[in-house]
């Protein structure tokens, strides 16, 4: 059985696919693990620079180089 690649509290980089939303250079924290949708694990992530949470697909996330 597959599991989420990232854990709650982990810092990640977010590269949204085709959204045009600038997120480069922002550090995101995984705040909630969500169920699989369309074959991909989903996550709620939050940047300290933003007042809201985002939903991200696992394929849009990568490990921070310097955690």
Predicted TM-score (pTM) of this structure = 0.82
β partners of residue 56: 43
- Share the mean pLDDT of the chain: 87
Answer yes or no: are the C-beta atoms of 61 and 12 closer than 8 Å. Answer: yes
Domain residue spans in the chain?
24-63
Q: What is the pLDDT of residue 15?
A: 85
Which of 14-18, 27-31, 59-63 is predicted with the least confidence, judged by mean pLDDT?
A: 14-18
Question: 19-45, pLDDT tens digit by residue?
Answer: 556 555 578 999 999 999 999 999 999
For residues 66 and 63, which has the higher predicted lDDT (pLDDT)? 63
């Amino acid at each position: 059985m597959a599991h989420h690649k990232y854990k709650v509290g982990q810092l990640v980089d977010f590269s949204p696919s085709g959204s045009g939303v600038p997120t480069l250079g922002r550090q995101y924290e995984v705040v909630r693990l969500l169920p699989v949708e369309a074959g991909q694990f989903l996550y709620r992530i939050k940047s300290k620079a933003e007042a809201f949470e985002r939903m991200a697909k696992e394929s849009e996330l990568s490990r921070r180089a310097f955690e």
